[in-house]
Amino acid sequence: MTSLTDVAKRAEVSIATVSRVINNSDKVVPETRRIVEKAMEELGYHPNRVARRLRQRGGKRHLLGLIIPDIQNPFFAELSRGVEDVAYANQFAVMLCNSDENLKKEKFYLDVLRSESVDGIILPPIHERDPVVYKLIEDGIPVVTVDRSLSQCTTDKVEVDNRRGAHEAVEHLIKLGHRRIGLIAGRLNVSTSRDRKQGFLDALAAHKLSASEAYVRGGDFKQASGRAMADQLLDLPEPPTAIFVLNNLMTVGALEAIHRRKLRIPADIAVIGFDDLPWAEALDPPLTVVRQPAYEVGQAAADLLLKRLQEPKRAATHLLLLPKLIIRNSC
């Protein structure tokens, strides 16, 4: 690996000058710059990012951290592409970690990211009082939370209006004539799940419908629980005529349960899922969903983080992106 020293020798200048050229310092005369650039070119020189980060102060290290529950969840895959594309456009690299909603893993990766001297970290907190995340903020590391809320949030954040998205979906079902609507929710200690459930309740209330406890089931945002909860709902003496599922993975599970019973969608049972899926159009029938702008969430988060690096003192920005009801044929 060639280093600053090699370039300096070849260009017959000091390493300080080479460093200035790399960092676009204006205090270098064009002629010198040309010579140095030529030398770098000839040697195929690339600055060593590791040495650079060791010396450089925060905000200029060109490395972001991103911790998500699971990259196999299409929502987070899309979100992470949003982050990465913005990072790439700004010559930043991103270190991606999967926490599996596991606090121990989150802690491990957070320690890795700190000790890698990342400029900042983007993450959905595992829950709203995640102590590790608070520690991070306390220590002055730029954090942008996405998707989920912290109970006391002083950082930049990007979220989606979950309550409204759910409200619209349920309203749509009601307008279609459904009166018995089943809900498959997620863990209630994460804000998104609560907000979506609240949107569901709001919509029912707005139409003077009561929410029977029997129709509200709690899953864990994973596929298996979607299937199990759907089975429970369909086994009811008076089963719902429509089911609203609060995330993508559980929706897949619910569809499994429905197909297994040879029920027809939407004739026997209508379905709306939270989160769009790349293959929603390829389902039979195409699935009606509340689409979250996951890619845009990632983009916005990365933008916000980069802005903060430029301007550490700026006030925290709270972004609330709008979800969109995409009506296809499953209800």
Partner DNA sequence: TTGTACGCGTTATCAC
Partner DNA sequence: GTGATAACGCGTACAA
Can you tell me which of 39, 67, 255, 331 binds its own copies, judged by CB under 8 A? 255
* C-beta closer to its own copies: residue 92 or 197: 92
Which residue type, as a one-letter code, is found at position 6? D
Please tell me the distance from the alpha carbon of residue 179 to that of residue 184, in angstroms, as a whole number.
Answer: 16
Site string for DNA, 53-72 (x = CB under 7 A): -xxxx--x------------
3 binds, among its own copies, DNA, none (CB under 5 to 8 A by kind): DNA
Q: Does 93 bind DNA (CB under 7 A)?
A: no
Report in angstroms how near the CB of residue 143 gets to its own copies at its nearest: 17
Q: Give the N- to C-terminal CA distance of the chain in Å, as an integer.
A: 61
Number of other residues whose CB lies within 10 A of the CB of residue 181: 24
94 binds, among its own copies, DNA, none (CB under 5 to 8 A by kind): its own copies
Task: Output the 3-class SS for 244-263.
Answer: EECCHHHHHHHHHHHHHCCC
Q: Does 27 bind DNA (CB under 7 A)?
A: yes
**What does the DSSP 8-state code read for residue 12?**
T
Q: Does 48 bind DNA (CB under 7 A)?
A: yes
Can you tell me which of 24, 29, 237, 315 binds DNA, judged by CB under 7 A? 29
Q: Does 278 bind its own copies (CB under 8 A)?
A: yes
28 binds, among DNA, its own copies, none (CB under 5 to 8 A by kind): DNA
Q: Does 315 bind its own copies (CB under 8 A)?
A: no
Q: How many CA atoms lie within 13 A of 93 on its CB side?
A: 10
Please tell me the distance from the alpha carbon of residue 160 to that of residue 150, in angstroms, as a whole number.
Answer: 14
Q: Does 116 bind its own copies (CB under 8 A)?
A: yes
317 binds, among DNA, its own copies, none (CB under 5 to 8 A by kind): none
Q: Does 5 bind its own copies (CB under 8 A)?
A: no
Q: Does 316 bind DNA (CB under 7 A)?
A: no
252 binds, among DNA, its own copies, none (CB under 5 to 8 A by kind): its own copies
Q: Does 52 bind DNA (CB under 7 A)?
A: yes
DSSP E strand stretches across the chain: 63-68, 93-98, 120-123, 143-146, 156-160, 181-185, 216-218, 242-245, 270-274, 288-291, 318-321, 324-326
Which two tokens mark 174?
A: 């009601």
Number of other residues whose CB lies within 10 A of the CB of residue 129: 12
Can you tell me which of 16, 176, 188, 322 binds DNA, judged by CB under 7 A? 16
Give me the residues paired with residue 122 across strands: 66, 144
Contact yes or no for 198/183 (Cβ under 8 A): no
Can you tell me which of 5, 90, 152, 154 binds DNA, judged by CB under 7 A? 5
DSSP states along 36-52: HHHHHHHHT----HHHH
Binding site for DNA (CB under 7 A): 1, 3-5, 12-17, 19-20, 22-23, 27-29, 31-33, 45-48, 51-52, 54-57, 60
